[in-house]
Structure 1
Amino acid sequence: MFRIRPARPEDTASLFEVRTSVRENHQGVGELAGLGITPESVSAMIGADPCCWVAVEDDRIAGFSMIDDNAGTLFAAFVRPECEGRGIGGALVARAEAALFQRHPVIWLETGRGTRAAAVYRHLGWGSEIDLGGGNIRLFKTRPA
């Protein structure tokens, strides 16, 4: 069984382990650094504002979700491949959504159109798809009434 808790700066190395372990939308440490996503930047974000949650299973981080609350976006949601299919991703997305909906009536995310992630998000109620080109889409979700 897993539990969700706020991420701490000291979780950063584990977040990168999870992020670089995924099969779909895989990016290595160098690629992430090219986008400005470094251990230092992630640790600083986590330390500055509650923006990231981790799923912990057997004292190991099994997945995480991360938001940009100012932009109203779900920035990341990743689960270790060996931990998929247990509801971890859905629980992490729900936690991120709850935080975003505190400030935003409509939230968004971007993903690849034909990815498993897109199918999961659609299953979780994300929709109103906008084509961003290059096979990428933006999905939206409205705060429940």
Structure 2
Amino acid sequence: MSIQIRAATPNDIELIFDIRTAVKENHLSKEQLTELGITDLAILALIEQKSSVWVAEFEQSVCGFAIADQEEGSVFAMFVYPDAEGKGIGKALLERVEHILFQHFSEICLETDGRSRACAFYSHQGWHIQEHLMDGDVKMLKRRPSTHALETE
């Protein structure tokens, strides 16, 4: 079965929060997300303003999402249902986000817990730790592949 990545719609907002609150690492409740300003209306604005929010469908079900900050050139969020891990969904979402961000930036970034499986995943996808932040988080960078490298692949 193939993974389909598509732009999120307002109908996906409830699923996005369900996925976000279902994860085991970096878990936040809906209330904690609201305290951080991550609300239904905030996600709706991201969906309506730009193609910044994507969802992954696998076996006809939404099982992951990613949000890119196209002003900052960063991966703002990327999460997959725990029971859908290991199927290439995160990699497919990350490839979409990178493709979009590299259209406007030569270097993109993200922040994650340096002790998490997510950090290892990003490292495996070619991201590099640039800076150690407070509370064990790290800032990771990835540079756009050179045009020559793309031409030879």
Counterpart in 1 of 2:59?
58
Q: Contact 2:108 / 2:143 at 8 angstroms: preserved in 1? A: yes
CA distance, structure 2, for counterparts of residue 6 and residue 126 of structure 1: 24
TM-score (norm 2): 0.92
Segments of 4+ in structure 1 off by > 2 A?
Answer: none
Counterpart in 1 of 2:151?
none
Look up the equivalent residue of 1:9 and give its one-letter code: P
Q: Contact 2:129 / 2:138 at 8 angstroms: preserved in 1? A: no
**Unmatched 5+ stretches in structure 1:** none
**Residue 20 of structure 1 pairs with residue 25 of structure 2:** no
TM-score (norm 1): 0.97
Counterpart in 1 of 2:121?
120
What does 1:83-102 correspond to in 2, within 5 Å? 83-102=84-103
CA distance, structure 2, for counterparts of residue 113 and residue 68 of structure 1: 21
Instruction: Give the count of matched residue pairs.
Output: 145
CA distance, structure 2, for counterparts of residue 58 and residue 14 of structure 1: 15
CA distance, structure 1, for counterparts of residue 77 and residue 133 of structure 2: 18
Counterpart in 2 of 1:69?
70
Higher helix content, 1 or 2: 2
Q: Contact 1:10 / 1:43 at 8 angstroms: preserved in 2? A: no
Counterpart in 2 of 1:110?
111
Quick check: which has more Rg, 1 or 2? Answer: 2
**Residue 43 of structure 1 pairs with residue 68 of structure 2:** no
Deviation at 1:58, TM superposition (A): 3.0
Q: Identity across aligned pairs (percent)? A: 41
Q: Which moved more, 1:81-90 or 1:129-138?
A: 129-138
Look up the equivalent residue of 2:99 and give its one-letter code: A
CA distance, structure 2, for counterparts of residue 126 and residue 64 of structure 1: 19
Deviation at 1:10, TM superposition (A): 1.6
Look up the equivalent residue of 2:122 and give its one-letter code: Y
Look up the equivalent residue of 1:112 and give its one-letter code: D
RMSD: 0.8
**Unmatched 5+ stretches in structure 2:** 147-153
CA distance, structure 1, for counterparts of residue 93 and residue 59 of structure 2: 17
CA distance, structure 2, for counterparts of residue 96 and residue 52 of structure 1: 9
Counterpart in 1 of 2:32?
31
